Amino acid sequence: MIKCDRRQLLKLLGLTLLATQMPAVAKRNSSPHSPIKPGRLKVGDTVGLISPAGIVEGETVAEFSEILSKLGLQVKLGAHILDRYGYLAGQDLDRAADVNAMFADTSVQAVLTLAGGWGCNRILPLLDYHLISENPKIIMGFSDVTSLLLGIYARSGIVTFHGPMGTSTWNWFSVEQVQRILFNGEAMRLRNLLSIPVETITSGKARGHLVGGNLTLLTAMVGSSYLPDWQQTILFVEDVREDVYRIDRMLTQLQLAGILEQVAGFIFGQCTKCPAGEEDEPSLTLQQVLSDHIKPLGIPAWYGAAIGHIPDKFTVPIGVEVEIDADRGTIRMLESAVV
């Protein structure tokens, strides 16, 4: 079930209606290392819904469509959105076809995902990255969709968005983030609510292109051609239902692969339901694991950003230049993520 405070949504519609009405024409920045920015959303735009990973129910599609309608958007459904193939939302070829079709469809201004689970890695070789780069659009999701976001950014150069999807909690916080970044094109300073504390790992500030997502999916892509250049990036990660020793194992993999030594800054978002182990089992804490792997890097880093499997989550643009402050736990966008 999608959780949505409809009263808050109605209040926030005023912000959407005031959104900038600039034409949604994407552009490539002059720097060869700058990503392609998709066009911003406007009231009346059509968004395409896809299920690139796990299965979804018709009720989820209907509820998400209603939320998008309240935000002034039209909805177009992927042809295979309710397909099933075991735990996947249809065959790989069909799920990939929906992604390609949405980018090719000139009536669609953004592509939104419905659920995570597993499956996006399987379709990465089936996507038409040239087609996607020639038709830049907002694409947003998180969890398993991490691999889709990183693959498209790495192979097509388009800014993608780690943010809420159809099965997410669409409350005032997440809606305001979407409106300000995707509709208004604001270069926001992302800061946690006071109820979500942050812990500094290493003090300092750093600048770089923001890249990352779900730690499990990111490590599952190591060694493939669907990850970006890590040099001087700001790496953010998050996870859910992973024991601390598994987080340790995955960070070790990033270290052994030479990724951690390249980044300029590090952010660990939320690790939701990540136990240290059974009560009678010895274990490191998550803070100890982060200290072991991240402190020796000597780069600004912190834990606890509002990124991940939580109700109040940031909309995080992958590929834009940001400045992070590890002491305050903030991410300051140095540019708009859309045009």
List active site positions. 143, 238, 309
Task: Name residues whose C-beta falls within 8 Å of residue 249's C-beta, 6 or more positions apart in sequence.
Answer: none
3-state DSSP helix/strand/coil % of the chain, to nearest 5: 35, 25, 45
The answer to whether 167 touches 56, Cβ cutoff 8 Å, is yes
The answer to whether 157 touches 316, Cβ cutoff 8 Å, is no
The answer to whether 192 touches 179, Cβ cutoff 8 Å, is no
Q: Which amino acid is at 271?
A: C
Structure tokens at 338: 């859309």
- Indicate the pairing of strand 169-170 with strand 3-4: parallel
The answer to whether 183 touches 40, Cβ cutoff 8 Å, is yes
Give kind and range of the element (H or E) at residue 200. strand 199-202
The answer to whether 318 touches 149, Cβ cutoff 8 Å, is yes
How far is the CA of 215 from the CAs of 104, 105, 157, 172, 243, in angstroms?
30, 32, 21, 27, 13
Task: Name residues whose C-beta falls within 8 Å of residue 60's C-beta, 6 or more positions apart in sequence.
Answer: 1, 2, 114, 115, 166, 167
Q: Is the dihedral of CA 48, 112, 161, 177 positive or negative?
A: positive
